[in-house]
């Protein structure tokens, strides 16, 4: 077990130096997704959420990167419980530790005591709920966001969330409908990978349609820029990225004024 100190805040992140994601984090001082980390920190500061929800915690490089106001409830969900010792040590040293709650379960569209998760011991970041014969199968429980948020929906009037679950995003989305309906405003970032989605039984267009029903959807280009698509579907994304398999971080905003608060500039993609 090794400790990384975030240079700007002095907060720490514990990692396993014997697996590739831990090594990658160590080499980059805990910042392997700079635009997601930047989004999260800006959202915590300027969006001022009442609940911050990290679905797919991994080592906690996003969750533990920020300081939270005293009234914020912070929830992390992680299916890979082999990461629990590292998360526990990072949590213990975080100044907001009393406000942070970690749920070790598979976020999904139903609650089930017998679900399966597939762990890649060589690179924890690719562990997945999609059956993968090359990975280690573990029995876990699955849980919906609505169940996790039960009793907190009144408090979640401003919900910040990050979702990175290796193709299981549509399943998670199906289990958080009540939570989103209860919010006055929600702001989120979600990983989109059409290849992983298809392996999990969902089309990329199906997820995009669900997202568009409740959010303005942008491609998070970098720390300061987002891309708005005139017509957002998988064909548009494949043309924009010029490849059939799209892997992109999407920013979900209900109030477009929020983009100004977060100091993002908008570029419109027109075909």
Pull the structure tokens for residue 54.
Answer: 């990290």
Q: DSSP string spanning the chain?
A: -EEEE-TTT--EEEE-TTSHHHHHHHHTTT-SSHHHHHHHHHIIIII--SEEEEES-TT-TTGGGS---TT-EEEEEES-GGGHHHHHHHHHTSTTGGGEEEEESEE-SS-EEEEEEEE-TT-GGG-BSS--TTSEEEEEEEE-HHHHTTTTTTTTTEEEEEE--TT-HHHHHHT-HHHHHH-SEEEEEEEEEHHHHHHTT--HHHHHHHHHHH-EEEEE-SSSEEEEESS-SHHHHHHHHTSSS-EEEEEEESSTHHHHHTTPEEEEE--
pTM for the model? 0.95
Pull the structure tokens for residue 84.
Answer: 């629990």
**Per-residue pLDDT tens digits for 22-60:** 999 999 988 889 999 999 999 999 999 999 999 999 999
Average pLDDT over the chain, rounded to an integer: 93
The model's confidence at residue 270, banded by pLDDT at 50, 70 and 90, is confident
Round to whole Å and give the CA distance between 21 and 254: 33
**Mode of pairing for the β-strands spanning 12-15 and 136-143:** unpaired
Pull the structure tokens for residue 35.
Answer: 């635009």
**Per-residue pLDDT tens digits for 210-219:** 999 999 999 9
- % pLDDT > 90, the chain: 85
Angle of CA points 55, 121, 53, to nearest 5°: 10
Round to whole Å and give the CA distance between 143 and 271: 40
The CA radius of gyration of the chain, in Å to the nearest whole number, is 18
Per-residue model confidence (pLDDT) at position 153:
62
Per-residue model confidence (pLDDT) at position 154:
67
Question: Domain range spanning residue 80?
Answer: 2-269
Q: How many structural domains are present in the chain?
A: 1
Question: Around 249, how many Cα atoms within 13 Å sit in the side-chain half-sphere?
Answer: 20
Residue 208's domain is classified under what CATH number? Answer: 3.40.50.150
**Per-residue pLDDT tens digits for 240-257:** 999 999 999 999 999 888
Backbone angles phi, psi at 239, to 5 degrees: -70, -40
Angle of CA points 124, 119, 22, to nearest 5°: 15
Q: Is residue 156's pLDDT more than 80?
A: no
């Amino acid at each position: 077990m090794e400790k990384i100190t975030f240079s700007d805040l002095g907060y720490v992140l514990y990692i396993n130096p014997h697996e590739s994601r831990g090594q990658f984090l160590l080499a980059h001082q805990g910042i392997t997704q700079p635009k997601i980390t930047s989004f999260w920190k800006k959202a915590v500061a300027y969006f001022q959420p009442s609940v911050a929800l990290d679905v797919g915690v991994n080592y906690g490089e996003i969750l533990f990167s920020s300081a939270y106001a005293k009234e914020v409830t912070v929830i992390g969900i992680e299916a890979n419980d082999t990461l629990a010792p590292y998360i526990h040590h990072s949590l213990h040293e975080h100044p907001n530790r009393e406000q942070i709650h970690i749920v070790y379960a598979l976020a999904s569209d139903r609650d089930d005591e017998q679900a399966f998760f597939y762990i890649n011991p060589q690179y924890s970041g690719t562990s997945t709920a999609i059956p993968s014969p090359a990975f280690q199968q573990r029995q876990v429980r699955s849980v919906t966001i609505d169940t996790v948020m039960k009793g907190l929906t009144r408090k979640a009037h401003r919900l910040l969330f990050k979702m990175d679950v290796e193709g299981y995003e549509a399943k998670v989305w199906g289990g958080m409908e009540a939570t989103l309906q209860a919010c006055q405003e929600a702001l989120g970032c979600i990983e989109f990978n059409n290849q992983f989605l298809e392996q999990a039984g969902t089309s990329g267009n199906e997820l995009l349609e669900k997202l568009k029903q409740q959010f303005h959807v942008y491609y998070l280009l970098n720390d300061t820029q987002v891309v708005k698509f005139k017509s957002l579907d998988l064909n548009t994304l494949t043309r924009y990225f010029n490849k059939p398999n799209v892997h992109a971080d999407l920013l979900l905003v209900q109030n477009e004024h929020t983009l100004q608060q977060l100091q993002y500039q908008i570029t419109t993609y027109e075909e």
